[in-house]
Amino acid sequence: MNAAIALLLLIALLAANLPWFSERLFYLVPLKHGKHLGWRALELVVLYFLTGAIAYLAETRTLGQAVAQHWEFYAITACLFLVFSVPGFVYSHLWRR
């Protein structure tokens, strides 16, 4: 179980930093004027929910059912996802320029 949790945290860390390393929208769509903060925020939200879906699938496959969560869980995981994205932000906006 500890290896699964570590793998899920690594997936979340990678997903949180993906929007900061490309100027394309979701690594597919080239944008004419570059990618602004709004596009990166949209990518972060989509990747947060995608990571949550992966975690939900992992939980149902290992335990057989998912434990019900309340709003506090989602608030904490969203903040943790934002904290995970700090290295990518620092690289793309503060370090690279």
Question: 25 or 82: which carries more pLDDT confidence?
Answer: 82
The pLDDT value given to residue 96: 67
Q: Using one digit for the tens of pLDDT, what is the confidence trace for 17-69?
A: 999 998 888 888 888 887 888 899 999 999 999 999 999 999 999 888 888 89
Q: How far is CA 33 from the centre of its chain?
A: 24
Q: Which amino acid is at 22?
A: S
Give the per-residue pLDDT at 97.
Answer: 60
pLDDT for position 46:
96
Beta-carbon contacts of 44 under 8 Å, excluding residues fewer than 6 positions away, are 16, 19, 81, 82, 85
pTM summary value:
0.89
